[in-house]
Each structure stands twice: as C-alpha cells, then as structure tokens.
Amino acid sequence: MIAFLRNTWRGLTSMRTALVLLFLLAVAAMPGALLPQRDLDAGAVEDFVAANGWWGRLLGRLGFYDVYASVWFSAIYLLLFLSLIGCLVPRTVEYARSLRAKPVLTPRNLARLPHHREGHTDADVADVMADTRRRLRGWRLTERAEDDGARSISAERGYLRETGNLVFHFAMLGLIAALALGKMFSYEGQVIVLADGSEFCNSGTYAYDSFQPGLRVDGTNLTQFCVRVNDFTANFLPSGAADYFRADIEYQAGEDLETGTWRPYALEVNDPLRIAGDRVYLLGNGYAPTFTVTFPNGEQRTHTTQWRPVDQRTYLSEGATKFDPPGITDPAQRREKQIAITGLFAPTAVLQGNVLASSFPEPRDPAVAVDVMRGDLGTNSGRGQSIFEIDQRMVEQGRLERVARENLRPGEEIRLDDGTVVRFDGVERFAYLQISHDPTQVWVLGFAIALVLGLVTSLTIKRRRVWVRATPITDDDGNRRTVVLLGGLARTDQAGYGEEFGRIADDLLPPREPEDVAERGVTTGRET
Amino acid sequence: MPVDETLSTYSDWCYGSAVGVYVLAMLFSLVDQAFGRHGTRVARARELVGAGAPVDPAERQEPASSDRAWEFAGAGAPVEATDRPEPPGSSHRAERARRFGRMAVSLTVLGVGLHLAALALRGLATGRVPWSNMYEYGATLCLAAVITWLVVLRRFAIQHLSVWVLLPVIVLMFLGGVVLYTEAAPVQPALQSYWLVIHVVSIALGSGMVLVPGVVSVLYLVKVRKPEWAGRLPAADVLDQVAYRTTVFAFPIYTAGVIFGAIWAESAWGRFWDWDPKETVAFVAWIVYAAYLHSRATAGWRGGRAAAINIVGFAVMVFNLFFINLVVAGLHSYANG
Ligand code: HEM
C-alpha cells in the first residue's frame, strides 16, 4: 500500500508526468476557444445546442460550455498543482543543500569534457592556481591537491539559474492559488445609470441590473460607495466609428458617505475609477428617450428609460417604456389601462419609406418609431420581465393591444382614442457601468511579475563548471614546466557556453600554437 | 485626428516593395541552398555517453537523477557532420552560390528597411502606433521574425536557410496585404491606451520571433527523420541550438506580453482574464512552449519530440492569429477594426 502510494507520488511528480499534464491542460483549454461559452455568451450556447441536437446536449452535460469550471479541467490543473508541489519540495531541499556544497571533484580525464583545452607554461603550479583564482573571481571554487604535485581547481557558477527556476515555479503555484481564492471572494455587477445626475449606490445586489457573485459572496457586505453620473460625452468620427467616450461622474466612499462629500472623476474607457477596493468601469452607453403620458384625467407621468443599442455603428436602439395609469386603485381595472411605448429610437433619423433607421450615432436628429400598447403588461404576474421588451405572451393572449403606431420627433405627440396623449420629449444618454471587486488580483499581479523575473533569470543564466588542473613536468630539455588542462561543462544546456569557456581559456593559457587552432571549433567561436 | 492619405499611400508602396525584396532575397537564398557548400565548421562529436561521464558526486544525490541524466549524457550528444563530399571542380560554382547567399542577406536587410518604413509611415499617417488592426499586426509580427532571423545569422553561419524562413514570412505578408488589408484609420476608444503599445509590441515580438524556431524545428525533423533529403542542411545539433536559443529568448517576451494583456484587460474590460478565445489560445500556446522547455529537460523527449512540440507551438500561434481572429470573434476588437 505504502509502496503503491509512493510509486503514485513518484509518478505524479516526475518530469514526464508534468509534461503530459501540461499537454492535457493545453488540449483541455482549447474547446473553450472553439465552442461558445456560457459565461461569455449564454445566448450563443443556446443557439449552438439548438442547432446541434443530441450531441449539442451531450457536450453540455459534459461541461463543454463551461470548460473552465468543468470537472475535467479542474482535475487536470489540480493534478498539475500537486505535481508542481511534489516537484518543488525536493528541488528546494536540494537547492538549499547545493548552496553550501563545494564544487565537485575535478574529473580525471578533462579531455573528455565537451569543452577542454591544454597548454604549457613556464609558470609554476602555484602561479597557475593564483592566476586561475584571480580570473575566476565570482565563481564558487575549491582547490585540491592531487598526486604528483598537481593541483586542481573546480569552479562553478550560475546558481541563480536554479534560483530563478524555483522562483518561477513557486510564482506559478502562488498564482494558481491566488486565482482560486479570487474565484471565492470576488464579485461583479452591471448597472445602467442615466447621465442626468442619477445615482448608483453599491448597497446591495438589488441595486444592480445583473450581478455575478463569487462562490463565497452572498451579496451582503458589499463595499459601500455611491456614484452619480452627471454627464456623458461621446465623440464619433465622420464614419460613425467611436472616437472617445467619457462619463463625468462624482463618487463618495468611506467618510465621504457621512459628510456627504462628492468627488469628481472623469470616467473613460480603459480608465476605471478605483475606490475602496472596487473598480467602476465604463463599459458602454446608449440612449434613454423621455416620454410623457397625459392620462384622460389630466394627470401626467414622465419616464426616461434606457433603450438598448442594436447597432453599434448608428446607435439605432430598441426598448419599451412602461406606464401605470395614475389614480386607479382597483388592480383589475388598472391592468386594462397600462401603457407601453415600444419600438425603435434613432439618434440621427433617416426614413426609408416609413421605416426608421439611423445614419449616425450622435443625437443630431432624434426620432422614434413606436407602437403604443394598452392593456395588461403582465408586470404583476410575478414573472420578471426585460426592461427592454414587452411581454409578447400578453400580446398573443390579446390582453395587450396596439392602439397606435407613429413616428415621432421631439415635441410631437399621439392622441389615443380615449383621450390619452403620448408625447416624445427628447432623449437622455445613459452610461453602462460595471462594478468589479477582486481582493486577490494584486496578488496575481505580484506572482505574475515574479514569474517573469524568475523565468528570465532561469533562461538567461547558465549553470556551468570549469576545472583547471596544473601538473608539473620536466620536458625533454630538462626544464621544469607546467601542463595546464582546462575542462568545462554547462550543467543545463550547452548553448553558448563555448564562447565563455574560450575566453577563460584564452586568459589562462599562453597563446596557442598553430596546431591548436583547429580545435577552436570545439571551444570558441560560432557554434556551428 | 485625420489620416494623412499621402503618407499612408507611401506606406503601402513600402510594404509592397518589402515583400518584393523578400521574394528576391528568397530566390537568391534558394540558389545558395541548392548549390552552396555549407557547414564546414561543425563541432566534433564527443562520445561522452557511458564510459566517459565525469565523476560527479553531487549529481548522484539528486532526487530526479534519472530525469537529469541527460545533462551529462546529452552534453556530448553525437554531432553529425553536414558535409556531403563535393565533387572536385564544383567549388567554383559553390563559391558563386555562396555569393548569392550573401546577397540574399543584404537584400533581406534592405527588405527590413522598407518594412520598417512601411510601418513608420503608417504610424505617421494615422498619428498612432502602427499595429492596431490585423494587417498592421501581421506586418509587425513578420518584421520581428525577419529581424530575429538576421540576428540568428550573426551567430550561426546558416544563411542558406534564409529561404525557409522567408517563405512563411512572404506568405504571411502576402495574405496580410491582400486578405487583411485595412485602410489607415484612427483607433476606437477601447484601443486608446499606452498598453496598446506595450502589450501588442511584446506579443508581436514574441510571436514573430518564434517563427524562426518553428521553421528551424521543421528542418530539424527533416534532418533526423529523412537524412537523405537533408544533405544540405546543417547538423541536427545546430538546428536544435538555433531553435532552443530563439525560443528561450522569445518565450519570456511572449509571457510578459500575455501579462501586459491581462493588465490592460483589467483596466479596459473589467477583468484581467476572461477566457475570451484569443486569450485562451494565447494561454494554450504558452503552455505548449512551456512543454517544449520541459521536454528538453526530460529524458527521452529531447530532439525529435521537442522539435515537434516547438512546431505545434508555432502552429497554435498562427491558428490564434488567423482562425481565432477571423472566424471566432472575441472581445479583441482590433480584429474587426
Ligand atoms: C504548472 C505547470 C508548469 C509550468 C507552466 C512550467 C513551466 C516551466 C518553464 C516555462 C520552464 C522553463 C524555464 C526555466 O527553466 O525556469 C520550466 C522548467 C522546469 N520545470 Fe516546469 N513548469 C510546470 C510544472 C513543473 C513540474 C510539475 C515540474 C516537476 C515535475 C517541473 C520541473 C521543471 C524543471 C526541472 C525545469 C528545468 C528545466 C531546465 O533545467 O531546463 N515543472 N518549467
């Protein structure tokens, strides 16, 4: 049993497993790019399932539309995480040990190393050793006495490579952990705020149009702050392409909430407001037409409701503005008299026949093409309904009827058969805001930076060794000379070590005789 | 800011001429590849495996010693000589072919000049950085690839391989100029940020640089799998080194580029990582290159398999550039801009 566990652990933490898991991760991530994903576009997922029948549904059951939350994807990265830990622990121990270890013994036969060179000198062994030490300053080295009066130095350099590698992998570990924590405690919500001084306060999920909490967020205890949108500026190029957007907002957080102080901020795309640990983004914008309904009893109601742009080039928008008749207390009667104004809004109107289109996104010549519906909107039925649409089932059941269809310019009105007057007053802009909260994202950033630094260190520094052996000899003429042998080995990748070894050898050995030059290819110069 | 039509037209001319010059360089280099004499300076094979492995007590203690065995075994991996014996009398022709090779390099440098001018003029014409749509991005990426290749040539005498590097560059630039061409225009609000400069430049650099190891790894596979076709290619060992060293240079730049992208996304889209298709495939490519680096440290995976992984990595990059941008539209709005 223990043996089994140990073998499993060994297998899991081996380099080959890590490689296979990396591959699996790459392959498993791919469907997320090729199939529609629920969190990006739920509508596209539904269309895809509808278009593909049983295997569309099968893919759904297997989690292919939520790849990054699926069991199999999580399993792969958890295994990788474990493998990473299992790989890092022994390597860290080994690393700590190697920091104190002496460079390894000089191999007996230096000529067998990938880099080596030999030279003869008149200097004695001690001088050669001293020169070597001077030349190899900054290397970790030990000197040893060998047989026959020879001495050798082994030197090693580039321990930072392993440091960088460990920093890199630990940063990976930290990054994955921070991401997981972020999933727990972050939240995100979207809200549309009219640019007429309307306010949004982050006091609860009810304040949002949509809200996506992390696994451990229940919607209470959101960061307290308020935002007021005073004005919205958009600039478009003559082609209709957007040039820039800006929402002039004011905000209050912390103490300002008590003192009622508002601070101004120009909210732009790419430039979120960062307050109290939350971020407020300007994600979009659009128009909210204002309608006034004068009921037969003389009472007036005015609503400004956002309509949603259906065409980003022209801001042609669609929506539904809904009114409850005033002064009617009986719910059944009231449901006969509810009014909805639904249709299209064009900031710069062009009429093709009677069909309204828009030619430009700025409000140069705003107009609406609306149906006025009267009857039961279905708002009391308990079913939530879209603010941009009327409930078509009410229309189908004949409980909501079209009583007028008209194109209106600002100030123009429609008089209905019962004396109700519907007037199109004008238009206001709205800002579409997103509020994001992610307490671990600075950690993610920190780990990401450590990751890159570790990576660069590890990939640019070579762990390399050099050995120098000086052996005294007596040559044919009876002179005492010293044979100096150099050997070099890069512990990780040979790439590029030859040049450095060549320089060291050039410095330590006397200029070479011609027959050595053929050897140059081995140790210096280009790597070809 | 209005677009300067004149400058933008000059930019297009420069782009076209750059492609033309690259084509010429490729043809010259083809002559060199076909008739030149190469690879005389090849490291000698050192048989270190087995008998000669140095005594290394520290190595023995290492827990992963089996995985690490290659460090010594691999250090002396046999190196092939590349030379086919030249028939006598061919050396004159070979020398002329080599001259073509040198001219190919000079032409490539000229092409880079025109290529740079094309991008610079576009930048001047639009008053913004010249990599804000797919056409411009592709041009930047190709420039990075060619410059990388020129840098490689300074360290490795393999200019006769230029033809294989220039070929995909020319194809990409041709596709870019014909299929993806976009009129010079200012950028939309979502792209107006200095992160556009930092993120896109690092991604384009990283992706462009890995074209070189991608191509060289293909040559490597040809060399080791079909040696009979590959008499004129340098030693497998040299190809492996070129691929490794350029990848190792490009990978951190690409990594940083992805991180810059995340930082930008955080301030532009409200989330630093959204698994949008472009991000996903960038992540996959990153993982593949991480696997490449791992494979070189794994017994039994060096050489052919590592080269294959490198090729997959580049394939994923190209897939991201074309398929994801053109077929799967995500948030990365420059694709349709
Ligand atoms: C979470 C997934 C992982 C990723 C993305 C990853 C990525 C990388 C990268 C990019 C490198 C090259 C940079 C460098 O040398 O520092 C590398 C090297 C290395 N990794 Fe990983 N790694 C992962 C998991 C692991 C695991 C689980 C192990 C152990 C089994 C491991 C062991 C190593 C070793 C030994 C090296 C050094 C290779 C060499 O000396 O060239 N890695 N890794």
A401-447 pLDDT, tens digit per residue, is 999 999 999 999 999 998 999 999 999 999 999 999 999 999 999 99
- Beta-bridged to residue A375, according to DSSP, are A338, A400
- Measured from the Cα of A91, ligand 1's closest atom is 35
pLDDT tens profile A204-260: 888 898 888 888 888 788 889 999 999 999 988 888 888 889 999 999 988 888 898
Specify the pLDDT at position A466.
Answer: 92
CB A35 within 8 A of CB A48: yes
Please state, in angstroms and rounded to a whole number, the distance separating the CA atoms of residues B233 and B86. 14
User: Measuring from each residue's beta carbon to the nearest atom of ligand 1, which residues come in under 6 Å?
Assistant: A 13, 15, 18, 22, 80, 83-84, 87, 164-165, 168-169, 172, 455, 458-459, 492; B 290, 293-294, 297
Say if residues A372 and A295 touch (Cβ distance below 8 Å): no
pLDDT tens profile B195-247: 888 999 999 999 999 999 999 999 999 988 888 777 778 888 889 989 999 99
Contact assessment for residue B275 and residue A68, using Cβ atoms and an 8 Å cutoff: yes
Which tokens in the block code for residue B258?
A: 């992805």
Among residues 270-289 of chain A, which lie with CB inside 8 Å of chain B? 270-272, 279, 281, 283
Q: Which residue has the tokens 């002496």?
A: A102
**A220 burial level (CB within 10 Å; 0-12, 13-18, 19+):** exposed
| Percent share of chain A, pLDDT over 70 | 95
- Amino acid type, B202: S
In this structure, the residue with its CA closest to atom 32 of ligand 1 is: A15
Residue A285: its pLDDT value, please? 92
Query: For residues B37 and B180, which has the higher predicted lDDT (pLDDT)?
Result: B180
Position A382 pLDDT exceeds 80: no
* B283-to-A17, A451, A521, B195 alpha-carbon distances in Å: 20, 15, 40, 19
Each residue's pLDDT tens digit, A353-366: 888 999 999 999 99
Say if CB A297 and CB A424 are below 8 A apart. Answer: no
Q: Do A105 and B272 touch (CB under 8 A)?
A: no
Judged against a pLDDT cut of 70, whether residue B58 lies above it is answered with no
Residue B329 has pLDDT above 70, yes or no: no
**Which residue in the set A108, A270, A456 is minimally distant from B252, CB to CB?**
A456
Contact B46 A68 (CB under 8 A): no
pLDDT of residue B94: 77
Q: Count CA atoms closer than 13 A to A228's CA, side-chain side.
A: 14
Q: Which of B216, B278, B286, B287 to mutate to test the interface with A (most CBs of A within 10 A)?
A: B287
Report residue A391's pLDDT band, with 50, 70 and 90 as the boundaries: confident
Whether pLDDT at B299 is above 50: yes
pLDDT of residue B37: 64
Q: Is B63 near chain A, with CB under 8 Å?
A: yes
**What is the nearest CA distance from A202 to chain B, expressed in angstroms?**
16
* A528:B44 CB<8 A: no
Burial of B103 (0-12, 13-18, 19+ CB in 10 A): middle
Mutate to test the pocket of ligand 1, among A88, A169, A176 (most ligand atoms within 8 A of CB): A169
Q: Does A173 touch chain B (CB under 8 A)?
A: no
Name the band, by pLDDT with cuts 50, 70 and 90, for residue A35. confident
| Inter-chain residue contact A448 with B58, CB threshold 8 Å | no
Instruction: Name residues 79-118 of chain B within 8 A of A (Cβ).
Output: none
Question: What pLDDT shows up at residue B85?
Answer: 45
C-alpha to C-alpha distances, B299 to A7, A164, A432, B245, B248, nearest whole angstrom: 19, 22, 55, 20, 19
Most confident among A66-70, A200-204, B76-80 (mean pLDDT): A200-204
**B294 Cα to the center of ligand 1, angstroms:** 6
The atom of ligand 1 lying closest to the CA of B296 is 41
Q: What is the arithmetic mean of pLDDT over A372-376?
A: 92
Q: Are B303 and B310 in contact (CB under 8 A)?
A: no
DSSP characters over A181-213: HHHHH-EEEEEEEETTTEEEE-SSGGG-SEEEE
The pTM is what?
A: 0.84
What is the rounded distance in angstroms from the CA atom of residue A135 to the CA atom of residue A486?
13
Residues from chain B contacting residue A244 (CB–CB below 8 Å): 189, 192
The string of pLDDT tens digits covering residues A285-317 is 999 999 999 998 889 999 999 999 998 889 999
Enumerate residues 247 to 286 of chain B having a beta carbon within 8 A of any beta carbon in chain A: 248-249, 251-252, 255-256, 259, 262-264, 266-272, 274-278, 280-281, 283-284
Q: What are the chain A neighbours of B235 within 8 Å (beta carbons)?
A: 528
Q: Compute the average pLDDT of residues A111-128.
A: 87
Of the residues B40, B56, B260, the best mutation for testing chain A's interface (the one with the most A CB atoms within 10 Å of its CB) is: B56
The reply to whether A434 touches chain B by the CB within 8 Å rule is yes
* Residue whose CB lies within 8 A of the most ligand 1 atoms, among A92, A165, A166, A458, for a mutation test: A165
Work out the burial of residue B234: count CB atoms within 10 Å of its CB; fewer than 13 is exposed, 13-18 middle, 19 or more buried: buried
Of the pLDDT bands very low, low, confident and very high (cuts 50, 70, 90), residue B71 is very low
Calculate mean pLDDT across residues A45-60: 86
Question: Which residue of chain B is at minimal alpha-carbon distance from A459?
Answer: B248
- Mean pLDDT along residues A505-522: 58
Q: What is the pLDDT of residue A453?
A: 96
Which protein residue's CA is at the shortest distance from atom 20 of ligand 1?
B294
How does residue B115 score in pLDDT terms, banded at 50, 70 and 90?
Answer: very high
B44·A522 Cβ contact <8 A:
yes
Answer yes or no: do A279 and B270 touch at CB < 8 A: yes
pLDDT at B330 over 50: yes
**Is the pLDDT assigned to residue B53 strictly greater than 50?**
no
Structure tokens given for A359: 């030619």
- What pLDDT sits at residue A457? 94
Out of B61, B255, B324, name the one closest to residue A33 (CB): B324
Span A431-442, pLDDT tens digits:
999 999 999 999
Mean pLDDT of chain A: 87
Map residue A137 onto helix, strand or coil.
coil
The per-residue pLDDT of chain B, averaged, comes to 79
Between chain A and chain B, the number of residue pairs with CB atoms below 8 A apart is 200
Which residues in chain B have Cβ-Cβ distances shorter than 8 Å to A107? 54-56
Residues B128/B186, Cβ–Cβ less than 8 Å: yes
The per-residue pLDDT for B127 is 79
Q: What is the pLDDT of residue B114?
A: 95
pLDDT above 50 (res A117): yes
Q: Work out the pLDDT band at B66, boundaries 50, 70, 90.
A: very low
The answer to whether A457 faces chain B, any CB pair under 8 Å, is no
Question: Are β-strands A317-323 and A308-309 bridged in parallel, bridged antiparallel, or unpaired?
Answer: antiparallel
Of the candidates B42, B48, B301, which has its C-beta nearest A528's C-beta?
A: B42
Residue written as token pair 């059951």? A61
> In degrees to the nearest 10, what's the CA dihedral of A57, A63, A65, A66?
150
CB within 8 Å of B9: residues ≥ 6 apart: none
Got the DSSP string for A321-371?
Answer: EEEPPTT---HHHHHHHEEEEEEEEESBEEEETTEEEES-SS-SB-EEEEE
- Expressed in angstroms and rounded, the spacing between residue B59 Cα and the centre of ligand 1 is 19
The highest-confidence range among A415-419, B37-41, B50-54, by mean pLDDT, is A415-419
| Collapsed DSSP state (helix, strand, coil) of residue B331 | coil
Contact A270 B234 (CB under 8 A): no
As a whole number, mean pLDDT of residues B56-63 equals: 34
Q: What is the pLDDT of residues B144-181, one digit of tens each?
A: 999 999 999 998 888 889 999 999 999 999 998 888 88
Rounded distance, CA A427 to CA A404, Å?
Answer: 21
- Label residue B89 by pLDDT band (50, 70, 90): low
Q: What is the pLDDT of residue A405?
A: 93
Contact indicator for B325, B239 with CB cutoff of 8 Å: no
Neighbouring C-beta atoms of residue A474, cutoff 10 Å: 9
Chain B from 188 to 217: CB within 8 A of any A CB: 188-190, 192-193, 195
Would you tell me which residues 289-318 of chain A have a C-beta closer than 8 angstroms to some C-beta of chain B?
A: none
ipTM of model: 0.84
Contacts with A490 from chain B: Cβ below 8 Å: 75
Of the candidates B189, B169, B183, which has an alpha carbon nearest to the alpha carbon of residue B136? B183
